[in-house]
Structure formats: structure tokens, C-alpha cells
Amino acid sequence: MEYAWVEKAWEKIVVKIEKTSQSIGAAFPNGTENGRFVTTPAHDWVAGFWPGLLWLVYGETKNERLKALAVACEAQISHTLWEYDHLHHDVGFMFELSSIKQYEFLADDAAKRHALITANLLAGRFNPVGSFIRAWPNWGDEDHSGWAIIDCMMNLPLLYWASNVIADPRYRHIAELHADMVLKEFIQEDGSVHHIVAFDPETGARLGALPGQGYASDSAWSRGAAWAIYGFALSYKYTGKDKYLAAAKRVAQFFLDHLPADKVPYWDFRLPEQSHDAPRDSAAAAIAASGLLEIASVVEHDEELFYKRAAAEILLSLFHNYADWKDDSEGLLLHGTGYFMKEIFVDASLIYGDYYFVEALLKLKCQ
């Protein structure tokens, strides 16, 4: 497959991010309404994606204005450590893409400390009797003390990172215990995954799967599958354990086998009637593509070509059919689905779709 189009896509992305950074500033975009991003507080799970995007573009352009905005975002995100009751397991997404990136680019020791403190918060969410990292605090009357969710696979790298940085395996042990629980409790026979599994927090007994952001408890939320592909590939990268790579490949096969012709999934792979006008989730496609490239980076030649080609086909379709280069819109990818059942950001641009689209294209560009 020829990848010349990637350079063209990259040039357009740089122009667009340099422009939208002027309207977005040091804030936290989530999804779009009428082409403009709705912003969210710095403790929201999506807060890391905008500084993460700024660092991706800064890494290639050295545009100092983008760097300054990313640094200003990190100051706000790290302040949320003092808003402990708002925090959740997605501190992984938040701090990996802000504090850890700032430490890597600028050797900023304060940012490194913020991420290390956060790794302790994430490790503190571990429930040893159920072997799971608790996802969320309670919301109103909804008791989440026994809930684990598939997205958490993407937060485990914060724990692997902390173990490497302080040369202490405790955080890695917790990450692996959680990943092993996900292998056992979340992945279904056919390679599809549950979004939420509930446990009794006192005994660790499995109570059952919940629909979460999917259509039903036994459906197959496409973004959940994308998080699993990428998350297991990362657990393999940090541990070298084959069982994680095997899981990433198994879910990837399910994902690829269920894609429609244009390679961008419907928001759930198991809707009661797979109607051709069900909304797509371009974010799931972008996340999966970046995860497939992660798999490609750790396997041997023939397999490497298979995963790279699969990722490139998805990205090419996103570039041709889903990218939004209009002057008056802020998002990069159209047709993402945030939370269909609650009608939140349906057929919208999503900052995490944009982030992983750019990250995956950059992986292809720099190969």
C-alpha cells in the first residue's frame, strides 16, 4: 500500500490545529455541536486529549505557541489532584498525554511528580478481592464501587510508566492483575468485549456485565473493542507477556471482521437490526487504527504488513470520507458517537477521535 497521502493529510492537520488552537486556547474540548467544540472541566476524562494533540503537532513543528498552550493545560489538569473527589480511573488518559508528555519534551520534574502522584491514585483504586481497578466514583445514587470498565486498559500504561520511573514493580503488578481480570471477565468467545463488568466489592464475586455505552450487556460497543485492541497491545509492549498480544489480536480480528465497506464501524457491532443509517463511530476507527499500528510494531514481517495495511485502510477512509477541513469547524473527524443511548455527541467530532487519528497518522508518517 502506498502511503504518500499521509504527508498530505499531515500538512492539512498542522494547518487545522494551528488555526483551531487560536479559538480553543488552553481549554478542554470534548465533542462538537454545530462544528464548535463544547468544553469541559479539567477533571473530565477527555482533558488530556487536547494537550496531547498539541504535543503531537509541536513534536513535528516546534511551534512554541502550541507548546505554551499544552503547558497551560497541564497546569490546570495537575491542579485537579486537589479535587480528589472528582477524579476517576481515567487519570491515565489525562496525565499520560499532559504531564508525562511535558516531562518527556521539557524534562519538567514537576510534571513528572504530578504523574507519579496520579499513579498512586490509580493504584489506590485497585480492589484486591476482585482484582480490578474501580472505574468511577459514585454518581448520585448509582453505586460504582464494584464497577470495572474496558477503557481502563488504556490507563494501565500510567502504572507501567511509574514502575519503570521509580524502579519498583508494585504499579506494574497492579496493572497486570487488572489486565488478567479483563482477559477472564470481559473478552467474549468471539473476540467482542463487554464495556462494564460489575463485581461485589466485598467478596470480588462477578455480578455480571452491564451495557455501559454499548447497546446491551451482550452487544459489542465498537469503541470498547478499540480500547481493548490498543490497551492489550500496550500491556504487551510494557510486559512482553504473549497472552496480552494474543488478546489484542483476537479483539482486532473481531473488529476487522465486522467493519462495513468503508472501514469505519457502527457505534455498536451488535445492534438488533444493523441498519445502514445507524450512526458510525469514527473515534472507534481512529483508536483501533492506532492500536493496530501498535500491534504491527511488535510482530514479525508478514503479520506486521497485515496489521499495518488494516490500519492504513481505516485511516485512508477517515481521511477521504470523514475528515473535516472546513474553515468554520473545529473538529478533525466527522461522525463520531460519544454516547448513543444518552444522546450525547451523536454524529459529532470527538476530541479523542481527533487525537488518535493524528497519533496514528504520525505513526504511519514516521515509520
Cβ–Cβ < 8 Å for 205, 266: no
Question: Any idea which residues carry the catalytic annotation?
Answer: 90, 151
Rounded to whole angstroms, what are the CA distances from 219 to 11, 210, 215, 346?
38, 10, 6, 19
The residue ranges that bind ligand GLY (CB under 6 A) are 151, 213, 223
Which positions ≥6 away from 155 have C-beta within 8 Å?
89, 90, 91, 92, 93, 122, 133
CB 152 to ligand GLY: min, Å: 10
> Nearest distance from residue 281's CB to ligand GLY, in Å?
9
Residue 151 or 354 with smaller CB distance to ligand GLY: 151
> Min. distance of Cβ 287 from ligand GLY in angstroms?
8
Contact (Cβ atoms closer than 8 angstroms) between residue 326 and residue 32: no
Q: Please tell me whether residue 326 adopts helix, strand or coil conformation.
A: coil
Determine the 3-state secondary structure of 45 from DSSP: coil
Query: Are 97 and 161 contacting, i.e. CB atoms less than 8 angstroms apart?
Result: no
Minimum CB separation of residue 348 from ligand GLY in Å reads 12
By C-beta, is 213 or 235 nearer to ligand GLY?
213
| Rounded Cα–Cα distance for residues 286 and 333 (Å) | 9
Grid coordinates representing 14 are 498542522
Q: Among residues 151 and 330, whose Cβ is nearest to ligand GLY?
A: 151
In the chain, DSSP finds a helix count (H) and a strand count (E) of 13, 9
Task: Using the minimum distance from each CB to ligand GLY, give the nearer residue, 31 or 201.
Answer: 31
Comparing CB distances to ligand GLY, the nearer of 48 and 67 is: 48
Least Å from the CB of residue 291 to ligand GLY: 13
